[in-house]
Structure 1
Amino acid sequence: MLKFRQNFTKLENYIKKESIEALYNVMCKERDSKISGFFNLPYENKAIIDSKKYIKENTKILSNIENLIIIGIGGSSLGLKAIDSMLSHLPYRKNINLKFLEHTDPIKIEKSLKKVKLESSLFIVISKSGTTIETSSLMKYVLDRYNLLKNSKNKQHLCFITDKNSPLHNFGKYQNIQTLTINKNIGGRYSVLSTIGILPLMILGYDVQSLLLGAKKFSKRFFNFKEKHLLKKAIFLSNNRDKFNINILFSYSSVFKDFNAWYVQLWGESLGKLNSFGKKTGLTPIALIGSIDQHSFLQLIVQGVMDKTVTFLSLEQKSYINPKIPDLKLKFLDSCNFVNGKSFALLLQQQQISTMEAIQKEGIPTDHIEIKKLNEKCVGELVIYYELLTSCVGKILDINAYDQPGVELGKKILITKFNK
């Protein structure tokens, strides 16, 4: 379960009841319009059924793999990476190395594939089309390096996840490569609760049913008008975008590092758009890790330009009693003794609270999301919360939060560079 606390400068008095109800009604229509399939993912069984079928048909290969290599970029990798990072501490997570080929950096490619052998590896190519240049180029390299198209035995170590009837889907059928599909109206950055995330997570041993259940329960509460805080936050951020155009996610645990990266893509790529009047709009995401970034970016937040809001993301620390800071009193270091005998978890928690209070005293808008327990259900809730929040802000900004025309322009320019 997630706990939400907001301190957006007298938020309750600032936002009118009519505005909250209007946004709620707009979001209900958005869901019903089917413009984006992410709304339905927590309620569907397709990803579970397709993934179970694939695993059953490939039991022999999967029982021997040591490496699960994901070939994909952006929405095809960030969500999966985020969830695994948050849940990898769970005891039933299988001892499989999860690797990502998402970068065209030659040093990174060689490092990622070092000691990777075909017989103990499964390569999953994830792309809505298959024509993303990074993904297609990395796929070609892996096909060649491991001779994956040589015969049916080698092809068993390869799987595609893509849109139905996409170029990659057609290539998979032509080569008789196992291919799983998702609906076309599910954008990459909103796709982690589809087969794109569910299949790899199921292979790794996670309880994906609970992941979807967490998302489903939060989504149901939202569409039953029981999560008004999300609507209020979206209205505040949108209405104050000229004053507070930078949104910081300050996450207090290293397990959130990859979730931060997912948030940056979701927020930035969804909201940086031209509105219906052709005006450039958007909100800039920044992701920080506490307490590390207290020693870098915090100074700018507190005494820099007042153009930022800060969301704190943390874990309830009650269950983390070890390790503890030894009760050592060291000469000349007496000023540090106040934490002796206390757990590192308590120290981290108090650092987060102290930082939040310091920021609030400067009049900077903040809110706090606390995760009671880091499990599949809570992670599913966190994922759908941010997807719904992004969609809400997109509606108020009068933009399409599900496309990325600016990215597509860059792809077109890249092609001209190689065709000169």
Structure 2
Amino acid sequence: MTSSPLLTDLPAFGELQALASDLKSTSIQALFEREGNRAEAFVAQAAGLRLDYSKHLLDGAARARLLELGEQAQLPRKAQALLGGAEVNNTEGRPALHSLLRASSAPGLEDKFAEVVEARAQMRHWAGRINSGEQRGFSGAAITDVVNIGIGGSDLGPRLVTDALKPFQGDINCHYVANVDPADLQDTLLDLDPATTLFIICSKSFRTEETLTNGLAARAWLINAGAEVSDLDKHFLAITSNLAAAAEFGVSGDNCLPMWDWVGGRYSVWSAVGLSCAIALGWEHFEQFLDGAAAMDAHFASAPVADNLPMLMSLLEVWYCNGFGAGNHVVLPYDQGLARLPDFLQQLTMESNGKRVAADGSALDYDTGPVLWGSAGTMGQHSFHQLLHQGTRLCPVDFILPLTTHTGMAEQHQRLVANGLAQSRALLVGRTPDEARESLLARGLDAAEAERLAPHLAMPGNRPNSVISFAAVTPHSLGALIALYEHRTFCSGQLWGINSFDQWGVELGKEIGVDIFQRMAGEARTAPLDPATEALLAQWRQYRD
């Protein structure tokens, strides 16, 4: 696929900047009054998800120009290229085929799809074997707990899915370890029985430092509990492309499932990396998760820009990042099961689009990849929502709002939904100084004190936000939601003219980390480090000794 043009080369961009400048002094509430059908017109739906983007600093004219921008960037053609297996990752010379992992067929990609089908069969086999009690540990007892050891995409995606879909889980408990800090593994294993615990090592190279270190510690834990080296296949599976390294560790080829270089880690939950999810949920529910993502893929491939959820969300992201200078984006899931969604989306969006050069290597003179942050509602209302309502920074918000609960506690969930809707509306309407003054007078303050305090209670409102609502958190809706953000991330990358599928920025720290670790182990190094790092190493040696 040819490189995307730069954002500033798209004809609509200059006009959009002028429109953004005009709209900065516009009231979104005034737009509702001016555009009578706004609440219906600024809505799009797909795969069971409903996107309401009516509460944005966006009038009909600006929306029309944004849609033109999407057409000028050829987003529909780029979507077809991505899904069709074009070489979208130009720096590494390969496609990004995560959508193939949830497809039911793949014309033109039959060879790769055959590999996917085979991997699915392996996943189904192991999920069934473990859930049926057929897989037994060194003592002969059935496996009861699975610990996934990975990091980055090999941890964040599976951890999110397992947490979000707890109401759909069976009897096998799944746990996750990522941090090389020994406390992470130690705390996880504290209440587990070595005889009934199985580990999944997720590492394409089987050399990832954090993952291999934790894997070796897990193996030692089993051996110390009485397992023999010959028993390791009863307790270890590996998701890797390095069968030799896995075998050296003690995992046979029969216990290895594949990873491919045409699937980035942050897009890999649909692959064998999601084996822990398939075990926790059972294969039928995992297939529903894949189906939800496939439904969003079909929508992304066919819907025009004006109705295309990923494209609309991407255009809004670029609108605020490059038209209003918003350097951040907030995601607020009003569901405790989705508490890890912001963590997952941080990697998805910031590792993908945190780039300072275009796909052709030229330096960019505009911002890309805003910082993504957030937490589950309603906790954030009692911490950082203060900044959203009264701070000086523009923070566009996505509210994620399931409309029903699996808990059976309908009235309590009603309060949760009410809080989510209230926060969305409060960001929109704010509170005028006059309203603040009247509120203070109603509390019994005298006129002078009410006048003094009114500026502190006033909120400007006019803070843009979207609401993504759906019936309930299910395997299907979660699959659709994750795929929605995947495709939004890709579209934003195309608008910015960058490659969203490499992540060279993570390499340098790893290389320096190896060097520092070797220095800590006493291996000679000729080139000195910077004075600050040398001083910290000296302090570490003091405490170690």
**Contact kept in structure 2, 1:172 and 1:179, CA below 8 Å:** no
Which residue is equivalent to 2:513? 414
Deviation of 1:147 after TM superposition, in Å, equals 2.4
Q: Does 1:160 align with 2:238?
A: yes
Deviation of 1:369 after TM superposition, in Å, equals 0.8
Structure 2 gaps, min length 5: 1-47, 88-94, 104-115, 430-460, 520-545
Bigger drift between 219-228 and 295-304 goes to: 219-228
- Mapping of residues 83-232 of structure 1, within 5 Å: 83-90=161-168, 93-147=169-223, 150-162=228-240, 164-165=241-242, 168=245, 171=248, 175=252, 178-197=255-274, 199-206=275-282, 207-225=285-303, 227-232=307-312
Deviation of 1:123 after TM superposition, in Å, equals 0.5
List per-residue Cα deviations over 1:63-100 (Å, max 9, x = no partner): 8212100111111011111111111023xx22222111
Identity of aligned residues (%): 23
| Higher RCO (C-alpha 8 Å, min separation 6) | 1
Which residue is equivalent to 2:50? 3
Q: Does 1:53 align with 2:125?
A: yes
Q: TM-score, structure 1 length as denominator?
A: 0.87
CA gap 1:370/1:129 in 2 versus in 1, 3 angstroms: same
Instruction: Look up the equivalent residue of 1:244 and give its one-letter code.
Output: A
Q: Does 1:350 align with 2:402?
A: no
Instruction: Look up the equivalent residue of 1:193 and give its one-letter code.
Output: W
Larger radius of gyration: 2
Report the 3-state secondary structure (helix = DSSP H, G, I; strand = E; otherwise coil) of the residue aligned with 1:374.
coil
Q: In 2, Cα distance between the equivalents of 1:167 and 1:278?
A: 41
Q: Does 1:31 align with 2:83?
A: yes
Q: In 2, Cα distance between the equivalents of 1:213 and 1:289?
A: 26
Q: Choose from 380, 385, 389 the match for 1:302.
A: 389
Bigger drift between 106-115 and 209-218 goes to: 106-115
Deviation of 1:167 after TM superposition, in Å, equals 6.2
CA gap 1:308/1:46 in 2 versus in 1, 3 angstroms: farther
Which residue is equivalent to 1:18? 68
Q: In 2, Cα distance between the equivalents of 1:13 and 1:140?
A: 60
Bigger drift between 81-90 and 149-158 goes to: 149-158
CA gap 1:318/1:122 in 2 versus in 1, 3 angstroms: closer
Q: In 1, Cα distance between the equivalents of 2:127 and 2:308?
A: 40
Q: Does 1:388 align with 2:462?
A: no
Report the 3-state secondary structure (helix = DSSP H, G, I; strand = E; otherwise coil) of the residue aligned with 1:363.
coil
Report the 3-state secondary structure (helix = DSSP H, G, I; strand = E; otherwise coil) of the residue aligned with 1:104.
coil
Deviation of 1:320 after TM superposition, in Å, equals 6.5
**Contact kept in structure 2, 1:67 and 1:97, CA below 8 Å:** yes
List per-residue Cα deviations over 1:28-68 (Å, max 9, x = no partner): 22333152121212105344212123346666216821210
Bigger drift between 237-246 and 164-173 goes to: 164-173
Bigger drift between 233-242 and 352-361 goes to: 233-242
CA gap 1:12/1:155 in 2 versus in 1, 3 angstroms: farther
Superposed CA RMSD in Å reads 2.4
List per-residue Cα deviations over 1:145-172 (Å, max 9, x = no partner): 212983433322100002x347645646
**Contact kept in structure 2, 1:128 and 1:166, CA below 8 Å:** no
Q: In 2, Cα distance between the equivalents of 1:178 and 1:322?
A: 42
More strand by share: 1
Instruction: Look up the equivalent residue of 1:353 and give its one-letter code.
Output: L
Q: In 1, Cα distance between the equivalents of 2:251 and 2:212?
A: 16
Length, aligned pairs only:
397
Structure 1 gaps, min length 5: 324-342
**Contact kept in structure 1, 2:150 and 2:201, CA below 8 Å:** yes
CA gap 1:418/1:79 in 2 versus in 1, 3 angstroms: same
Deviation of 1:181 after TM superposition, in Å, equals 0.1
List per-residue Cα deviations over 1:380-400 (Å, max 9, x = no partner): 111111111111111112222
**Contact kept in structure 2, 1:101 and 1:109, CA below 8 Å:** yes
**Contact kept in structure 2, 1:83 and 1:259, CA below 8 Å:** no
**Contact kept in structure 2, 1:131 and 1:167, CA below 8 Å:** no
Instruction: Look up the equivalent residue of 1:303 and give its one-letter code.
Output: Q
**Contact kept in structure 2, 1:312 and 1:366, CA below 8 Å:** yes
CA gap 1:174/1:254 in 2 versus in 1, 3 angstroms: closer
Instruction: Look up the equivalent residue of 1:402 and give its one-letter code.
Output: F
Report the 3-state secondary structure (helix = DSSP H, G, I; strand = E; otherwise coil) of the residue aligned with 1:288.
coil
Q: In 2, Cα distance between the equivalents of 1:287 and 1:249?
A: 5
**Contact kept in structure 2, 1:251 and 1:289, CA below 8 Å:** yes
Which residue is equivalent to 2:331? 249
Bigger drift between 298-307 and 247-256 goes to: 298-307
Q: In 2, Cα distance between the equivalents of 1:151 and 1:30?
A: 44
Which residue is equivalent to 1:368? 467
Q: In 1, Cα distance between the equivalents of 2:269 and 2:319?
A: 29
Q: In 2, Cα distance between the equivalents of 1:135 and 1:170?
A: 16
Deviation of 1:208 after TM superposition, in Å, equals 1.3
Deviation of 1:305 after TM superposition, in Å, equals 2.1
Q: TM-score, structure 2 length as denominator?
A: 0.68
Q: Does 1:259 align with 2:362?
A: no
Q: In 2, Cα distance between the equivalents of 1:267 and 1:105?
A: 25
Q: Does 1:79 align with 2:154?
A: no
Report the 3-state secondary structure (helix = DSSP H, G, I; strand = E; otherwise coil) of the residue aligned with 1:182.
coil
Bigger drift between 399-408 and 66-75 goes to: 399-408
**Contact kept in structure 2, 1:160 and 1:177, CA below 8 Å:** no
**Contact kept in structure 2, 1:275 and 1:281, CA below 8 Å:** no
**Contact kept in structure 1, 2:206 and 2:212, CA below 8 Å:** yes
